[in-house]
């Protein structure tokens, strides 16, 4: 209890000293404010940008393995595209084969896409992303509907002319009207709208958005487009199990099944690519890791300057209060009481500067940078406070130690 009481008294002494020299306090914490602002501003911008970019690629799904002709990996320098171009695309037969035999998967789906124009009366929407899907599509990719429902299994099997459209398409074709149950026309065929996707808004880098997408049964899509090698190539996608870290078991099983289905001999090279959608997100994460390091370097110099400023002020404070230190020690003040008194002063100085920098970053998050949504995360707030505290301890520990070790008689005699 005595230790806690003396620590509290040290803290009060530190606050009182900061109030006494208010101008000097404000000038000395500016360095830390700029440093913390630089670090947290960079991290906040990087985190927000990374989050927005990854959300722009959410249409690829998570924990998903795709069967493609071209692999996601490999750089452009040694990319033998001519070899991959000769590979056969996935087929409905392979989709059914995998669906029946895969044991390391949650769901298997197949889809094919094309850009086209959709019409309703005198209104038309160009550049719509039309996708033919099967019932299990909703088990692999997230389907968030604002209105209506998803296809039933019988509607998929019968290739009924039903459609789920994006909010932008709905607003264009039927402005300020209820769209569920209305008809739209795609390549001369009439479809009934049974659902509308939740609005996503504008994404970064013009990534595909559900606002301008349309889903129809795969059978209905095949009536309008030829699917296969010389037509719209379908994509087989498999949802892996959560416990399959890295989709290793799924990749091995899919490789064996596809090689068997395509009749490849043991020495034959795979004529397909199994692409993990996490590859793109991991690549994006690696890029932003480098940017984060640059943020540490930029903010680190500012923090270093701020730390030297606080250390300099603390040495001045020790010199100015040498007589007071001698009187306190002669009255029985412990060394840790003197140590804490100056250490708390240094930490408070640094924390005030850090909090000020975080507050400035917070107000900057209200600035809109196009479609980029900037948000200050709790992680970055704690990072700023943690760095401020460390800078305060490092900057104040030497002056505080010198003050604690002073001889009371010599300290009192000092002018």
- Please indicate, yes or no, whether residues 291 and 237 belong to a single structural domain of this protein: no
273-284 exposure pattern, b = at least 16 Cβ within 10 A, e = fewer: bbbbbbeebeeb
- Please indicate, yes or no, whether residues 124 and 247 belong to a single structural domain of this protein: yes
Domain edge (last residue) among 271, 301, 323: 271
Which span out of 5-19, 79-93, 171-185, 306-320 was modeled with the highest average pLDDT?
171-185
Domain edge (last residue) among 217, 249, 271: 271
Which among 70, 66, 110, 113 is positioned nearest to 92, based on CA atoms? 110
- Please indicate, yes or no, whether residues 248 and 375 belong to a single structural domain of this protein: no
Q: How far is CA 230 from the centre of its chain?
A: 38
- Give me the long-range contacts of 92-97 (CB less than 8 A, separation at least 24): 92/218, 92/227, 92/234, 93/261, 94/67, 94/236, 94/258, 94/261, 94/262, 95/134, 95/234, 95/236, 97/257, 97/261
Query: Is residue 171, in this structure, part of any structural domain at all?
Result: yes
Q: How far is CA 363 from the centre of its chain?
A: 21
Q: What is the percentage of the chain residues whose pLDDT exceeds 90?
A: 26
Mean pLDDT of 141-163: 92
- Please indicate, yes or no, whether residues 266 and 346 belong to a single structural domain of this protein: no
Enclosing domain of residue 104: 88-271
Tally of domains within the chain: 2
Q: What is the percentage of the chain residues whose pLDDT exceeds 70?
A: 85
- Structure tokens that stand for 12 in this block: 């009060």
Per the model's pLDDT, the better-predicted residue between 247 and 414 turns out to be 247
- Please indicate, yes or no, whether residues 301 and 253 belong to a single structural domain of this protein: no
- Please indicate, yes or no, whether residues 264 and 301 belong to a single structural domain of this protein: no
Question: How long a stretch of residues is the chain?
Answer: 415
Mean pLDDT of 242-253: 82
Query: Is residue 218, in this structure, part of any structural domain at all?
Result: yes
Q: Can you give the pLDDT at residue 280?
A: 67
pLDDT at residue 166 above 80?
yes
pLDDT at residue 76 above 60?
no
**Residues in contact with 68: Cβ distance below 8 Å, sequence separation at least 6, in sequence order:** 90, 235, 272, 273, 274, 275
- Please indicate, yes or no, whether residues 303 and 167 belong to a single structural domain of this protein: no
Mean pLDDT of 338-361: 83
- Structure tokens that stand for 25 in this block: 């306090």
Helix, strand, coil fractions of the chain, as percent rounded to 5 = 55, 15, 25
Domain edge (last residue) among 202, 236, 271: 271
What does pTM read for this prediction?
0.65
pLDDT at residue 70 above 90?
no
Query: Is residue 50, in this structure, part of any structural domain at all?
Result: yes
The CA distance from 204 to 372, in Å, is 7
Query: Is residue 130, in this structure, part of any structural domain at all?
Result: yes
pLDDT at residue 58 above 80?
no
Mean pLDDT of 84-109: 89
The CA distance from 68 to 233, in Å, is 9
Which among 191, 215, 68 is positioned nearest to 134, based on CA atoms? 215
pLDDT at residue 357 above 90?
no
Strands (E), 79-188: 105-120, 123-133, 145-148, 162-165, 183-186
Within 10 angstroms of residue 388's Cβ, the number of other Cβ atoms is 28
The CA distance from 239 to 250, in Å, is 9
- Please indicate, yes or no, whether residues 52 and 189 belong to a single structural domain of this protein: no
- Structure tokens that stand for 56 in this block: 């722009």
Query: Is residue 224, in this structure, part of any structural domain at all?
Result: yes
What is the three-class DSSP state of 134?
coil
Q: What is the mean pLDDT of the chain?
A: 82
Query: Is residue 278, in this structure, part of any structural domain at all?
Result: no
Q: Can you give the pLDDT at residue 135?
A: 94
- Please indicate, yes or no, whether residues 36 and 176 belong to a single structural domain of this protein: no
Query: Is residue 369, in this structure, part of any structural domain at all?
Result: yes
- Please indicate, yes or no, whether residues 92 and 225 belong to a single structural domain of this protein: yes
Which helix (H) or strand (E) covers residue 365, if one does?
Answer: none
Query: DSSP secondary-structure letter at 77?
Result: T
- Please indicate, yes or no, whether residues 173 and 319 belong to a single structural domain of this protein: no
- Please indicate, yes or no, whether residues 311 and 238 belong to a single structural domain of this protein: no
Query: Is residue 276, in this structure, part of any structural domain at all?
Result: no
The CA distance from 99 to 91, in Å, is 12
């Amino acid at each position: 209890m005595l230790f806690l009481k003396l620590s509290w008294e040290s803290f009060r002494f530190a606050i009182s000293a900061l109030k006494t020299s208010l101008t000097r306090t404000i000038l000395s914490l500016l360095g830390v404010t700029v440093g913390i602002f630089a670090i947290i501003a960079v991290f906040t911008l990087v985190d927000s940008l990374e989050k927005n970019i990854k959300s722009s690629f959410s249409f690829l799904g998570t924990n998903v393995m795709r069967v493609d002709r071209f692999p996601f990996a490999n750089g452009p320098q040694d990319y033998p595209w001519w070899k991959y171009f000769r590979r056969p695309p996935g087929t409905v037969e392979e989709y059914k084969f995998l669906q029946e035999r895969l044991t390391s998967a949650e769901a298997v789906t197949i889809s094919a896409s094309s850009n086209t124009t959709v019409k309703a009366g005198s209104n038309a929407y160009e550049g719509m992303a039309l996708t033919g899907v099967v019932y299990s599509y909703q088990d692999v990719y997230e389907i968030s509907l604002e209105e209506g429902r998803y296809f039933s299994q019988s509607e998929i099997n019968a290739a009924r002319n039903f459609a789920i459209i994006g909010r932008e398409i709905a607003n264009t074709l039927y402005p300020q009207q209820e769209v569920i149950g209305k008809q739209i026309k795609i390549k001369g065929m009439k479809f009934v709208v049974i659902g509308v996707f939740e609005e996503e808004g504008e994404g970064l880098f013009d990534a595909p958005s559900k606002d301008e997408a349309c889903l129809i049964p795969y059978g209905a899509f095949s009536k309008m487009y030829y699917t296969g090698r010389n037509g719209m190539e379908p994509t087989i996608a498999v949802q892996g199990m959560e416990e399959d870290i890295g989709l290793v078991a799924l990749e091995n099983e899919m490789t064996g099944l596809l090689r068997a289905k395509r009749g490849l001999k043991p020495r034959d090279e795979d004529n397909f690519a199994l692409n993990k959608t996490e590859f793109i997100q991991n690549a994006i994460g690696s890029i932003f890791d480098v940017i984060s390091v640059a943020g540490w370097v930029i903010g680190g110099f500012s923090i270093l300057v701020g730390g030297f400023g606080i250390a300099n002020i603390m040495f001045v404070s020790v010199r100015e209060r040498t007589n007071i230190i001698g009187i306190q020690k002669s009255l029985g003040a412990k060394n840790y009481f003197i140590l804490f008194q100056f250490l708390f002063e240094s930490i408070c100085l640094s924390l005030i500067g850090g909090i000020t920098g975080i507050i400035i970053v917070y107000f900057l998050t209200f600035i809109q940078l196009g479609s980029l949504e900037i948000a200050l995360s709790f992680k970055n707030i704690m990072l700023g406070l943690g760095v401020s505290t460390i800078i305060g301890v490092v900057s104040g520990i030497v002056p505080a130690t010198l003050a604690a070790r002073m001889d009371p008689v010599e300290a009192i005699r000092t002018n």
